[in-house]
Structure 1
């Protein structure tokens, strides 16, 4: 009996994929470049499943064009690239990778916060350009972090770890916004979003992306923040209005921003690229080798469970 065909839609760790060969015929897209929609449809013809990232859009149109598709395993925790209701209507098995990247992503969020507040990116570029002529009293004077107010938008797993580390390790006073307060949130106090924006010295965006959170932080919200504040986005591109943010940074309405995610990435708005007070990184918050390997292993474990006729260990909820 022939094996079901599985598209691996990105270059991953070959050794981790080997156990899948016992159950699936693998079609490897061995590239770091995401497949364009037309190419993805073509490669999915006759495929039972796909092992993907957050770049491959699976919606009703693609499902109609790929009738054999029955399963999608993602290496990411976020799954806003999936039209989950459309997938459910077709009976697809769906999985993601929650938990394995929580600590690493929280660690990077605090790294980006510290580097942004202390103007590390600007200073590093200054040295590399050969402009440094010696020490001066106010050169690249940044914003303090210890003892200040951290506002967190989105108190999920990652937000909770950031709150604990910021409170215990940096003596920060942590406030957060969720649609509903989180029970037993030991290290942070809930605030309505307008109050959070006005109070925060540093704002960390960690909320999942959805239609409801698109441009959750836009021009009106940025106008409510302190001019001395910094904004950090490790959530998803689109939660923050990048062009409105660039305008606030250019005008002095906001002191600085650290961004690991962007609208339409890997493209980055030219307005942001022109902002010296924006520290920009290429979606690497989860990028330690053990974490990235664990993300792939999570998808592999789900696919192996499905091959045995068992439920996957980390199904997408709902």
Structure 2
């Protein structure tokens, strides 16, 4: 029995890769950086399955070069690099990995807040540089207990962050496209967006990237925040206007910033944000634990194999859209 032909556009955790290789002939890009488009298009000529990465754009142009494609899967929750409409037009299901990275990402989001609030990395730099002496001016942070945390984007990760904030004695407010029916259960109070900006001592952004959220945080929004506000972005880089954030931090319009995502990404070494003393940036490590990345990879394979066999994907973004198209 012949094996399915699959293209993997980047790295994949070993246990998941081994599962695919049992059933599929695999072409995998293993070098650093994004796979060259010309090579990707050549590989896709005969491919029945594709494991995409955020570094490639899955659109009508790509799908024209993949006439045999049955399924696309990606090890991520977000899919702003995927043209869902184009996939649906071709009746190609697209699978992502919701749920399995909730706790890891919530841990990272709250860790960025905690490290920023207590200036932990600056304290380490202080010790390492030899500046720690008797009577020296150690870095001072802020207490989190009693502060108001504003969460923008109250999905599963937002609810998990709210739980962690509650354990630290924080008052949690949130803004979401739709108000949740379980405010009391998650320990958070819904507020309008502008009200959240004005009232929050700390803001954590967890909204997905869309037309509505691209550039959601710009000069106007930073102006509405407290001058003592701490701003944390763990969603997508383009949700924040990087130039506006730089100016807000540079002028003291807000107190501190922490980012796990940037625009562009990776952030260039000469980017103005890297010159500031009141910012902390990590390299998009929200889901980067061994356990979580392994679980994401396994779900990615589950989606891929199901699609290759013509079965429903365990986590499919466009199932209903494909069904509606077929009925029409």
TM-score strictly above 0.5: yes
Q: Equivalent residue for 2:312? A: 311
Corresponding pairs, count = 316
Aligned with residue 180 of structure 1, among 161, 178, 185? 178
- The 8 Å contact of residues 37 and 57 in structure 1, kept in 2 or not, is answered as no
**In structure 1, how many angstroms separate the alpha carbons of the residues matched to 2:264 and 2:45?**
26
SS of corresponding position for 2:64:
helix
**CA distance 1:125–1:42, shift in 2 (3 Å):** farther
User: What's the RMSD between the two structures over aligned residues?
Assistant: 1.7
Q: Equivalent residue for 1:196? A: 196
- The 8 Å contact of residues 13 and 293 in structure 2, kept in 1 or not, is answered as no
- More deviation, 259-268/31-40: 31-40
- The 8 Å contact of residues 230 and 256 in structure 1, kept in 2 or not, is answered as yes
**In structure 1, how many angstroms separate the alpha carbons of the residues matched to 2:307 and 2:62?**
22
Q: Please give the TM-score of this superposition, normalised by the length of structure 2.
A: 0.91
Deviations 1:65-92 (Å, cap 9, x if unpaired)?
3333332111101111100001110111
Cα distance, 1:134 vs. partner? 3.7
Cα distance, 1:135 vs. partner? 4.5
Deviations 1:221-250 (Å, cap 9, x if unpaired)?
011000101000111111111121111111
**In structure 2, how many angstroms separate the alpha carbons of the residues matched to 1:40 and 1:205?**
34
SS of corresponding position for 1:228:
coil
Gaps of 5+ in 2: 322-328
**CA distance 1:120–1:42, shift in 2 (3 Å):** farther
- The 8 Å contact of residues 8 and 28 in structure 1, kept in 2 or not, is answered as yes
- More deviation, 115-124/77-86: 115-124
Deviations 1:75-124 (Å, cap 9, x if unpaired)?
10111110000111011121000000001110111111000111222222
Deviations 1:38-58 (Å, cap 9, x if unpaired)?
443333232122112322210
Cα distance, 1:32 vs. partner? 4.4
- By relative contact order (CA 8 Å, sep 6+), the higher-ranking structure is 2
Segments of 4+ moved more than 4 angstroms: none
Q: Equivalent residue for 1:65? A: 65
Q: Equivalent residue for 2:123? A: 123
**CA distance 1:271–1:73, shift in 2 (3 Å):** same
Q: Equivalent residue for 1:163? A: 162
- Residues 13-28 of structure 1: pairs in structure 2 closer than 5 A: 13-28=13-28
Q: Equivalent residue for 2:324? A: none
Gaps of 5+ in 1: none
